[in-house]
Amino acid sequence: MRILKVIIISLFILTSCVNQQKSKDEVASAYKVTSLEEISIPDIEKNINNSSFDLINGVLFFDGIPYAGIVNEFYQDGSIKTQSEYFDGKRQGYFRGWYMSGNKWFDRYYHKGVKVDKHVGWFDVSGSLKFEYYFNDQGGYEGSVKEWYSNGKLAKHFNFKNGVEAGSQKLWKPNGNIKANFFTVEGERHGLIGLKNCVSVMSDSIK
């Protein structure tokens, strides 16, 4: 069993050292949730500060009834801050955000209150990516989880399967130097911290 684990880890390493990157469309297609039922959101928009709203145990009520429609949140100057669709008192569909400047802040998606599909965020001034996550229909991470620094450099690239870490996991410092480089196999982390290159972790894993 231990030998098999070593072989699996070695295969992960070899795979990660080969530069085979999918396009964003390919990645999004690979992890997009397709089995969710379509739910029609009423064409109703209300301000989040409306006194008739009441959030109870994670369910949003309006006049005592689970809310269905769109909820808008505004900055003090009246510009839009966030907009979210609701059905039966829970987020359903898109949840979008904007900075006060008007630039896009984030796009998130929900199904019956659970995070699903692709979630992406941007920095205000540069408009560069801040984070990019993928979720399965259970709300667990699925596939790549990426985060960037404001200078545009990648800060984190983890991989998940069914909400659990699986495969290559890496962290970088703001200057681009590697901070952590390890592999997760069957819930166990294997690897060395602070190494820039792909390295063998066989000696660590068989101790």
Question: CB of 119 within 8 A of CB of 104?
Answer: no
The arithmetic mean of pLDDT across residues 55-75, rounded, is 98
Calculate the CA dihedral of residues 97, 71, 136, 127 and round it to 10 degrees: -10
Which residue in 5, 1, 2 sits closest to 186, CA to CA? 5
Is the pLDDT confidence value at 207 over 80?
Answer: no
Question: CB of 44 within 8 A of CB of 68?
Answer: yes
Distance CA(12)–CA(16), nearest Å, equals 6
pLDDT at 5: 47
Higher-confidence residue: 192 or 134? 134
Name 58's Cβ contacts closer than 8 Å, sequence gap at least 6: 90, 113
Question: CB of 183 within 8 A of CB of 190?
Answer: yes
Residue 204, H or E segment: helix 202-205
Distance CA(146)–CA(152), nearest Å, equals 12
The arithmetic mean of pLDDT across residues 184-205, rounded, is 59
Residue 57: left if φ>0, alpha if ψ -120 to 50, beta else—which one?
Answer: left
pLDDT at 15: 46
Q: Which two tokens stand for residue 162?
A: 């069914």
Is the pLDDT confidence value at 35 over 60?
Answer: no
pLDDT digits (tens, 9 = 90+) for 83-141: 999 999 999 999 999 999 999 999 999 999 999 999 999 999 999 999 999 999 999 99
Is the pLDDT confidence value at 172 over 50?
Answer: yes
> Strand 59-62 relative to strand 164-165: parallel, antiparallel, unpaired?
unpaired
Name 7's Cβ contacts closer than 8 Å, sequence gap at least 6: none
As a whole-number percent, the residues of the chain with pLDDT over 70 amount to: 75
What are the chain's domains?
Answer: 1-35+116-207 (3.90.930), 37-113 (no CATH)
Q: How many residues does the chain have?
A: 207
pLDDT at 192: 62
